[in-house]
Chains A and B, each alone.
Chain A
Amino acid sequence: MALSRMDDLYRQVILDHSDNPHHHGELPDATNNIELKNPTCGDVLKLDLNIEDGVIKDAAFSGYGCTISQASASMMTDAVIGKTTDDAEQMVQTFSNMIIGEDVDTDSLEDAAVLEGVSKFPARIKCATLAWKALHKAMNKEESE
């Protein structure tokens, strides 16, 4: 049955992350934050970052969205905590390339690398990229409001 193709998209790791998201919540003393909406589906993602001396000390996300967008945010926060903003910027690029099906070295992305399968589901690419887009925007914001 064709539903078996779903396994490419909803790998077990992805379902685990969306069922039990890591770093879910808010950072009261965030240095950088952003709220992004996905206008096509009405999903909302809030991302808080704590950046000190160019290093992402902590990250947390909240809002609501589909399995893919929630899992992606959980994996993204896992991967970028402890990284310099330059490295994180590099990871944003790696993720964007991976998700459109380009052949890139995805080791730095940790769990987030399994989202590679999303490239075969064009309608869902935006769900996967929302968290990384939020990261990019939050890091490039001068200071939090």
Chain B
Amino acid sequence: MDNNDFPILHQKVNDEDLVYLDNAATTQKPKQVVEAMEKFYYNDNANVHRGVHTLAERSTEQFEAAREKVRKFINAKSNKEIIFTKGTTDSLNMIAQSYGENIHEGDEIVISIMEHHSNLIPWQQLAIKKHATLRYIGLTDDGELDMAEAKKLINDKTKIVSVAQVSNVLGVINPVKKLAELAHAHGAVMVVDGAQSAPHMPIDVQALDCDFFAFSGHKMLSETGIGVLYGKEELLNDMTPVEYGGEMIEFVKKYDTTWNDLPWKFEAGTPNIAGAISLGYAIDYLNEIGMQKIFDYEQQIVDYVLPKLLAIDDLEVYGPTDPTKHTAVISFNLKGLHPHDLATGLDMEGVAVRAGHHCAQPLMTYLGLSATARASFYFYNTLADADKLVEAIKATKEFFKHGTI
């Protein structure tokens, strides 16, 4: 696949060609998205929904067109179900705060041990506040979600199940559709953290039958500060807004207010207009390639690189060893070396990876680790990038063995 649309990728860092493998943190932006933003700001910028002048009409039209693109992208039934937020974190917090009002003492919330802090702390704090119980689904030996345990944990007391569709550490795909079935069989709602799935595979929220779905624009070619909360219309209708202010009202009286219709009820204040529009253009770009094609291509990279990584002596690779169960998010450690030292070595070779706990400290503790290095690919990466990663790991390993090169 082509990376000529991404000027940032064509540079040297530390005298080496840049190999950007930190896409799970954020992706780079293609010319098409950056140029569309420039065009918007130079020609059409105005606040949305509140002016009758021409620019206000143009920007409102583009903002709402972006919502329609998002709706199609995840196959939601209606635009009313697409709420623009700051990102996945914001979306998940909104659900916990607003839908969380339905939680009472003795209720149970089920998440997994591999959750990102943004799909963990909101539920943990909700449980504390409401005197509810938070339960964790663990992992199988192979690093997959333990579905047998999930079946045992989800019961009639369960009110919310919230799990990531793809783990940002282990790279596994979780069977969220099956979890949704389990949740619904017990009258609970299913929340899906789609931060690592929406950028990399076709999403159909109706087929998944999830009740809420959250994702971030910046992890799929768009800007930071824009994200999406999808919710089923009937649920959103019954929920109260989390934030109050402009735009989200129908009528404000001195001692009472009625809310605007969906989705604006949940979009208080001036939204990230340019961000939403850029997400629309990012979706156009992704659709041009095709989400299934992106998924298949990234699987090819995993097929190629995972066995090579597993073959490096002293390299521990986390998550499933079967490439068909692993997405292109791969965490690893060199035995005896802290991942920060490894990441610095890779950086000197031009290879950008992340090192740390990846906002998943309970998972790190569960695995008995303090941190890992993580390489995460996107469609603009190549098999040559994968080779460079493998070589750079080997070189770094040699460096620390001898203290010099």
Q: Which of B356, B364, B371, B405 contacts A3 (CB 8 A)?
A: B405
Query: Could you say which residues of chain A place their CB within 8 Å of the CB of B399?
Result: 3, 6, 10
- Known A1-B405, A3-B405: A42·B370 in contact at CB below 8 Å: yes
A67 within 8 A of B: yes
Are A42's CB and B345's CB within 8 A? Answer: no
Query: Could you say which residues of chain B place their CB within 8 Å of the CB of A7?
Result: 404-405
**A-B contact list, 13 entries, CB within 8 Å:** A2-B348, A3-B348, A3-B392, A3-B395, A4-B405, A6-B399, A6-B405, A10-B341, A10-B400, A41-B355, A41-B371, A42-B357, A124-B340
A75 within 8 A of B: no
Are B355's CB and A2's CB within 8 A? Answer: no
Query: Interface on chain A toward B: helix, strand, loop, or mixed SS?
Result: helix
B287 within 8 A of A: no
CA distance A64 to B371 in the complex (A): 10
CA distance A101 to B392 in the complex (A): 28
Chain B interface residue count, CB cutoff 8 Å, equals: 29
Are B370's CB and A43's CB within 8 A? Answer: yes
Are A123's CB and B344's CB within 8 A? Answer: yes
**Nearest-Cβ distance from residue B389 to partner chain A, whole angstroms:** 14
**Nearest-Cβ distance from residue A20 to partner chain B, whole angstroms:** 13
Near B by CB (< 8 A), chain A positions 1-35 give: 1-7, 9-10, 12, 15
Query: Could you say which residues of chain B place their CB within 8 Å of the CB of A66?
Result: 338-341
Q: Which of A4, A6, A41, A124 contacts B356 (CB 8 A)?
A: A41
Max count, chain A CB within 10 A of own CB: residue among B339, B348, B392: B348
**Nearest-Cβ distance from residue B400 to partner chain A, whole angstroms:** 8
Are A41's CB and B345's CB within 8 A? Answer: no
A139 within 8 A of B: no
Are B338's CB and A3's CB within 8 A? Answer: no
Are A42's CB and B364's CB within 8 A? Answer: yes
Are A67's CB and B341's CB within 8 A? Answer: yes
